[in-house]
Copies of this chain bind each other. A is one copy, B any other.
């Protein structure tokens, strides 16, 4: 049986109100009384019952985080950041995994609604109307999704894509392939936009292939498509897909980076672990997680104030070993024997 505020009050010889105040608004109670109460509370190991508190204050002290897939390193990193920031604020995080299913997602958000003060919704898959409905009942901040009237934390994927394009363009590539991701994803659209703008600006030709699911497996067939496209560099939707490309290229006997440059996206741990190490666009995942709960906390504190706030976090290209200048045309057309001399 847990120790209640009544028990503390009894032992300290005061009323429950005084105990409550001693803990919540110390200045309201005389120093001597407060010290006595605090001592007793400490001794008994008293911890307020959050359910009871929530009942009266209407605040639960919980924040919900919903992601499409916890097992995806991208999201688990966001989750980690969110958890860290929440903990600092004494909030607890509720986790929900929508399994990439927009219906489940909506359901989870609805179910969470009453038990949390607010929700951090990552890469929302649900439609705009559903989103609006959900947001109506619970304060919510979006991560990597934009919706008028809803606060959000965005990662500047378009700019990340620009960096990637400029990088391969600077290396001398003139025809680059892009492997696109989930159609309904905001992030996906942003990257496409960044690609087109940067390609036009840099005077390189971008061939768009896809869409694909953002997985290793999708990268396998995508690699063949890339080879057939005649591109000399490929920008994958994410690191997982890039790994698939790498894998398939190796099977096909295509040497990376000599014969094909490959760029990933997300900057997940694994991108540093391949041989050769993958050039990728680093995403501020953990930072985004932190920023999202930060923003949510703000919204909770003064509701009407920043319903429109959108914070954009920068991406940073990290150049590793999968991007080099393309082979001269003559060599590419030549015999494999000549290639060996180059690698």
Which residues of chain A have a CB within 8 Å of any CB of chain B? 2, 47, 49-52, 54-55, 60, 65, 69-71, 73, 76-77, 79-80, 83-84, 87, 92-97, 111-115, 216, 240, 243-244, 246-247, 250, 269-270, 272-275
Contacts of A243 in B (CB 8 A): 270, 273
Contacts of A216 in B (CB 8 A): 269, 272-273
- With A92-B96, A275-B275 already in contact, 9 other A-B pairs whose C-beta atoms are closer than 8 Å: A47-B114, A49-B114, A51-B54, A70-B76, A70-B80, A92-B112, A243-B270, A244-B273, A270-B270
Check if A95 sits within 8 Å of B97, measured CB to CB: no
Task: Considering the complex, give the chain B residue whose CB is closest to the CB of A274.
Answer: B274
Task: Considering the complex, give the chain B residue whose CB is closest to the CB of A50.
Answer: B115
> Which of these, B49, B50, B83, B247, contacts A70 with CB under 8 Å?
B83
> Which of these, B51, B69, B273, contacts A60 with CB under 8 Å?
B51
Inter-chain CA distance A94–B52, complex, in Å, is 18
Inter-chain CA distance A65–B70, complex, in Å, is 13
Contacts of A69 in B (CB 8 A): 80
The 7 A-B pairs of least Cβ separation, nearest first, read: A51-B54, A51-B51, A95-B95, A76-B76, A243-B273, A250-B275, A70-B80
Q: What DSSP secondary structure best describes chain A's contact surface? A: helix
Contacts of A80 in B (CB 8 A): 69-71, 97
Contacts of A87 in B (CB 8 A): 96
Task: Considering the complex, give the chain B residue whose CB is closest to the CB of A2.
Answer: B114
Task: Considering the complex, give the chain B residue whose CB is closest to the CB of A69.
Answer: B80
A84, A92, A96 interface centre (most CB from chain B within 10 Å): A92
Contacts of A114 in B (CB 8 A): 2, 47, 49-50
Contact of A92 with B92 at beta-carbon distance under 8 Å, contacts A50-B114, A243-B273 already known: no
Contacts of A274 in B (CB 8 A): 273-275
A55, A69, A115 interface centre (most CB from chain B within 10 Å): A115
Contacts of A84 in B (CB 8 A): 97
Task: Considering the complex, give the chain B residue whose CB is closest to the CB of A246.
Answer: B275
Inter-chain CA distance A274–B50, complex, in Å, is 47
Check if B92 sits within 8 Å of A93, measured CB to CB: no
CB distance from A237 to the nearest CB of B (A): 15
A49, A65, A95 interface centre (most CB from chain B within 10 Å): A95
Check if A95 sits within 8 Å of B83, measured CB to CB: yes
Task: Considering the complex, give the chain B residue whose CB is closest to the CB of A48.
Answer: B114
Task: Considering the complex, give the chain B residue whose CB is closest to the CB of A107.
Answer: B87
Contacts of A73 in B (CB 8 A): 71, 73, 76
CB distance from A267 to the nearest CB of B (A): 13
> Which of these, B76, B95, B246, contacts A71 with CB under 8 Å?
B76
Check if B96 sits within 8 Å of A83, measured CB to CB: yes
